[in-house]
Amino acid sequence: MGLISEFKTFINRGNVMDLAVGVIIGGAFATITKSLTDDLIMPVVGYLFGGADFSRYFIRLGELPAGFKGNPESYADLKAAGVAMFGWGEFLTVFVNFLILAFIIFLLVKAVNRLMPKPEQAPAATPEDVLLLREIRDSLKK
């Protein structure tokens, strides 16, 4: 019963609930960030660079399998067929998503840090040898 008791203590500390809430909010936040990237930012970037669909930017490394019926210019069709590809367009999209998410989290942490009260800093305790030396100095002055 020791293991179960330890597990109950672990669960009741609140760490697990805090983690669960964080994961759920993180998942919801990821969908918002994905929409921000896919629906607002990447279309503008795509417009500037001649197309909103970055998945079409890839280098096919492998041959088309026999009986391939998809579009040989479609990243999704080739990927579904198991063709080896260097999908730099998909990577670019995922990387931009990461940068946006990291920047938003940075801004959130910065805002929370401003809102949180700064802990009072207690004056550092003077080491005992320094106190003793001060007493000797003061005694010599007298």
Sign of torsion over alpha carbons 44, 49, 50, 56: negative
Residue 119 DSSP one-character state:
P
Reported as a single tens digit per residue, the pLDDT across 69-102 is 888 888 888 888 888 888 888 888 778 778 877 8
Read off the pTM: 0.51
Angstrom distance (rounded) from CA 84 to CA 78: 8
- For residues 34 and 28, is the Cβ–Cβ distance under 8 A? no
Q: Render 44-96 in DSSP notation, one character per residue.
A: HHHHHHT-S-GGG--EE-SPPPTT--S-TT-HHHHHHTT--EE-HHHHHHHHH
- The CATH number that domain 2-119 falls under is 1.10.1200.120
Reported as a single tens digit per residue, the pLDDT across 119-140 is 777 677 778 888 888 999 999 9
